[in-house]
Amino acid sequence: MGGGSGGGLFSSDIRSLEDKVKQRLAEAKGDVSRHVFISFDHEDLDEVNLLRGQAKNDKMDLQFDDHSVKEPYDSTNADYIKRNICEKIDRCSVTLVYLTDKTASSKWINWEIEESLKRGKGRVSGILWARHNMRENDHGYARETQETIHRGAGGRPRGAAAQAA
């Protein structure tokens, strides 16, 4: 697909031809930057900032697109906020849910997870700080994300963003 008019260029051996293709394809492979949408309760903002710092310490090539909504889910402003959130989710390849004891009661987070899945994002991951006691059976979406929940050691998140793909 694309076109050309034929002919041959090289007297190269097959291995050399192969290497040329692989070098160019490696540009896709070598791009490790990730756009991550973090869904979290606004009360957890300070901890999410620590997570961002942690990722930077690990020298990961990440671009976080954080969002935290203070507005009530059923407010008159909600439609406008949802449109803005959708734009942010669309720009990212993965949604990371910051799980704490406040998550279960957040209608916004639940909506953001549903929206991420609807928009064809390959994966929705969750990160759980060890010092929080999530009651996973108390809400509807925990089971869906259970397999991708990563427990940090010593109260620190570990490798959360590495789950992005």
Binding site for other proteins (CB under 8 A): 1-10, 12, 14, 17-18, 20-22, 24-33, 35, 90-94, 119-122, 165
Closest-CA residue to 134 (of 142, 144, 123): 142
For other proteins, which is the closer residue by CB, 1 or 153? 1
CB of 94 to other proteins, least distance (A): 7
Which is nearer to other proteins, 27 or 46 (by Cβ)?
27
Which tokens belong to 29? 């492979």
CB of 52 to other proteins, least distance (A): 20
CB of 108 to other proteins, least distance (A): 22
Give 26 or 130: the residue with its C-beta nearer to other proteins.
26
Of 5 and 76, nearer to other proteins (C-beta) is: 5
Instruction: For residues 165 and 119, give the distance between their C-alpha atoms in angstroms, rounded to a whole number.
Output: 15
**Can you name the residues that pair with 153 across neighbouring β-strands?**
156
As a whole number of angstroms, the distance between CA 97 and CA 149 comes to 9
Question: Residue 119 Cβ, how far from other proteins at the closest point, in Å?
Answer: 8
C-alpha dist (Å) from residue 47 to 85, 98, 129, 131, 157:
21, 9, 9, 12, 10
